[in-house]
Amino acid sequence: MQSLEKRITEEGIVLPGGILKVGSFLNHQLDPQLFHEMALEFHKAFGDLAVTKILTIEASGIGIASITGLVFGCKVLFAKKSRTANLSGEFYTQEVTSYTHGNSRQIIVERQFLNADDRVLVIDDFLANGAATDGLIGICSQAKAHVVGVGIAIEKAFQPGGESLRKRGIKLLSLARIESMDAEKGIVFCKD
């Protein structure tokens, strides 16, 4: 998606440790107009697949997922990273290991909001090693919900998450795919 690649090129900052900072439009400050364009791209790819629910993970997936849900006309569900006082009932939980942060945590979804009738589009801001995405797919497996596909804003294509999803036959649309990035050499996108 050209407008997204342009924003990444103009505003993205590569930090040490393979971190891409896009806080000016994607995950701290948010650009809802850009998210709407992204949602329309997701709808082109997944709009015919009878999606009943968008699933994402807090916090930075929520903005994109909400506007995608508005375009799809379906509800959005976000997995929580901690158990809050306003959660009750039965849960699906899944262990997610963050390679970047070097820690592991449970993500949580209330059972009543996801079931075997659901056709789920998983949405997230980043796909790198795929831990968060795999965690969300694992939640869907527990619920016996069907994952129709995965929609990602930025895939770090030099990390194995995207390839792993494709090999497993999961339909994946990443709106920007980064081939390589380096604080000095800048950001290079995949040409496919």
Interacting residue ranges for its own copies, rule: CB under 8 A: 13, 15, 17, 19-25, 27-33, 35-36, 58-59, 62-67, 69-70, 73, 75-78, 80, 82, 84-88, 100-102, 109-110, 112-113
Structure-token pair, residue 12: 């993205």
Structure-token pair, residue 113: 């909001």
Closest approach of its own copies to the CB of residue 164, in Å: 22
Closest approach of its own copies to the CB of residue 100, in Å: 5
105 forms beta bridges with: 96
Strand 91-98 and strand 146-156: the pairing is unpaired
Burial of 121 (0-12, 13-18, 19+ CB in 10 A): buried
Closest approach of its own copies to the CB of residue 69, in Å: 4
User: In the complex with its own copies, which residue's Cβ is closer, 88 or 192?
Assistant: 88
Closest approach of its own copies to the CB of residue 191, in Å: 26
User: In the complex with its own copies, which residue's Cβ is closer, 50 or 59?
Assistant: 59
User: In the complex with its own copies, which residue's Cβ is closer, 73 or 169?
Assistant: 73
Please say whether the beta carbons of 40 and 174 come within 8 A. Answer: no
Question: Does a cis peptide bond (omega within 30 degrees of 0) precede residue 79?
Answer: no
User: In the complex with its own copies, which residue's Cβ is closer, 63 or 138?
Assistant: 63
Closest approach of its own copies to the CB of residue 192, in Å: 26
The Cα–Cα gap between 153 and 67 comes to 13
User: In the complex with its own copies, which residue's Cβ is closer, 25 or 189?
Assistant: 25
The Cα–Cα gap between 34 and 54 comes to 18
